[in-house]
Amino acid sequence: MGETSLDSPTPELPVVPAADVYPPERPVCRGGDRRDGRGQQWRRRERGGAGGTPPASASPASASGGDSLPYPTLAPVVFFYLKQDTRPRSWCLKMRASMLVILLNCVTLGMFHPCEDIDCHSDRCKILQDFDDFIFAFFAIEMVIKMVALGIFGKKCYLGDTWNRLDFFIVLAGMLEYSLNLQNVSFSAVRTVRVLRPLRAINRVPSMRILVTLLLDTLPMLGNVLLLCFFVFFIFGIVGVQLWAGLLRNRCFLEDNLSFPLSLGLANYYKTENDDENPFICSMPRDNGMRDCGTVPRLYEEGGVQCNMDMYSYNNTDNTTCVNWNQYYTNCSAGPVNPFKGAINFDNICYAWIAIFQVITLEGWVDIMYFVMDAHSFYNFIYFILLIIIGSFFMINLCLVVIATQFSETKQRESQLMKEQRVRFMSNASTLASLSEPGSCYDELLNQRHPGPVGAFSPHTNEW
C-alpha cells in the first residue's frame, strides 16, 4: 500500500440522499435535560422561520406537512371552522386579571350577610350583588375564550383538564342560579356552589397546584395507612367495649327507702357543679375503681359553712348546723347519661371510635382516662398510653412519611408539566433557546450518520 501524497486530489465524498438528512418522520428526543424547545427550532428551520430557510432538497412532507401548525399540540380546528390561524382564535390574550377577580370574589363572599337582609333591599347588599354579577360575567367570558382557543372536547381541549372542568361546573351552577332567580324559584342549594369559586385560584398559583396535586396523589398510598389505622381502631375499640361498656354512666344515687323533707328537692343522684363535663363517676362493688360513693364531697351551705350533721341529729333551732345530705348518696348504679352530653362512652363500637379519635388527637384525652380509671381500675392507663404511642406517634408520622415520599415526585412532574404548557402556549416566533447551542437531537443524529470533520453537514448553517 502506497502513501497518499499531499498534492493528490481529495477523494470524492459519497453523496448522501436528502431523505437521510431530512427524515420524513423525525425521531423524538427523549433526553432528560433536552426538553428545551430545540425541536421547535428545527421545525422553524424546516418551515423557513426564524432559524433559516429549508434546503431545496428537503422532503415535501416536512416543508408543507402537518408540522406547519403554530401549536401542533392543540386541536387544528374547533367549532368545525375555527383554525389555529383564524380570528379570533389567533388573537393573543393574557388573562392577568383572573387572580385579582378571584381575590375580589373571596372578599365579596365574606361580606354577604344573608340573615340581616334576606330580600337584599339595602345598598350594601345591592353593591355586593353587582360585584357578584360582574365576577360571574368575567368567569363566563373567560370560559368561552378558553373554549374557543382550546376546543371543548378532547384530551388537549378545555374539558380535558380537571381544573377546567371545575371552572365549567362553577359557571354552569351560576347560570342555573340566575335562571332560577328569573323564575322566582328559591333554590338555596345551588348558591352553595359559590364557595367553590376561590378554588379557581389553585390552577393560577403553581405552588398551590402542586400541593393539591400532592394531596390527590397521596390518597392511594394513604389508603393502606388508613386501612392499618382502621384495624388499630377496631382492636382498641373492641377492647374498650368489652371492658367499659356502660361504666361511664355510673352515678351515686340516694339510699333506698330514704325519707327526707320534700322541700329540699334533692336530686336522684349526686351532681357536681359542672356535672356534664366533670361528673362524679363511681366504681361498682365488683370493680376496683379509684372512686366510690363513700368519697362524695361534703355539702357546704352558703357562706362556707360545712354541713356535718345527719338528718336524725339535726336541731332546727340551731342555725349554725346543717345536714350533710351528700352522705346519703351511697348507691352506685348506672345513670341516665354519659359525660359530655353522652358523646364520650364505650357503650358500642361507634362511640368507642369517637373516644379513641379524641385520644389520638391529644385533646382532652386525660379526662377520658380519669373517667375510666375512676369507674374500673387504676391500671387502665396502660390502654391509653399504648393508644397514644401507636395512634398519635406512629400512625400520624407514617402518614407524614408517605406524603414526604410522594412530594418530590409530584413536584418534579408538575414542574415539568407547567414548563411544557408554557412552551406550548408561547408564540411561534419566540426564541426558545440559542440557535448556536449544540446538542440537539438532529446534531447527534447527523454526527452519528456522518462522522468526521470533512464533508459533514452543519445543521446550524444548512451547508456542507
Report if residue 329 sits inside a domain.
yes
> Are 104 and 197 found together in one domain?
yes
Residue 4 has φ and ψ, to the nearest 5°, of: -80, 125
> Are 185 and 264 found together in one domain?
no
Report if residue 388 sits inside a domain.
no
The SS3 of residue 87 is coil
Report if residue 103 sits inside a domain.
yes
> Are 194 and 146 found together in one domain?
yes
Report if residue 22 sits inside a domain.
yes
Scanning 151-292, the segments in alpha helix (DSSP H) are: 162-182, 188-191, 206-244
- Residue 248 has a pLDDT of 93
Report pLDDT digits (tens) over 180-216: 765 655 566 666 777 777 777 777 777 777 778 778 8
- pTM equals 0.57
> Are 60 and 110 found together in one domain?
no
Q: Is the pLDDT higher at 147 or at 356?
A: 356
- CATH number of the CATH domain containing 138: 1.20.120.350
Report if residue 130 sits inside a domain.
yes
Report if residue 25 sits inside a domain.
yes
> Are 112 and 20 found together in one domain?
no
Total structural domains in the chain? 3
- Residue 50 has a pLDDT of 41
Average of per-residue pLDDT across 12-40: 43
- Distances from the Cα of 1 to the Cα of 4, 11, angstroms: 9, 17
Query: Which residues form the domain of 299?
Result: 251-337
- Residue 53 has a pLDDT of 40
Confidence category of residue 152, pLDDT binned at 50, 70, 90: confident
> Are 60 and 113 found together in one domain?
no
> Are 126 and 180 found together in one domain?
yes
Percentage of residues in the chain having pLDDT higher than 70: 62
> Are 61 and 102 found together in one domain?
no
Give the domain-ending residue among 176, 204, 232: 204
Write out the three cell numbers for 435.
440557535
Give the domain-ending residue among 337, 368, 398: 337
Confidence category of residue 168, pLDDT binned at 50, 70, 90: confident
Under 8 Å between Cβ of 188 and 156: no
Report if residue 351 sits inside a domain.
no
Give the domain-ending residue among 277, 308, 337: 337
- Residue 235 has a pLDDT of 95
Sign of CA dihedral 15, 17, 18, 22: negative
Report if residue 299 sits inside a domain.
yes
Confidence category of residue 47, pLDDT binned at 50, 70, 90: very low
What is the full DSSP assignment across 284-342? Answer: -TTSB-S--GGGPPPPB-TTSPBP-B-SSS--TT-TT--B-GGGGEEEEEE-S--TTTT
> Are 60 and 109 found together in one domain?
no
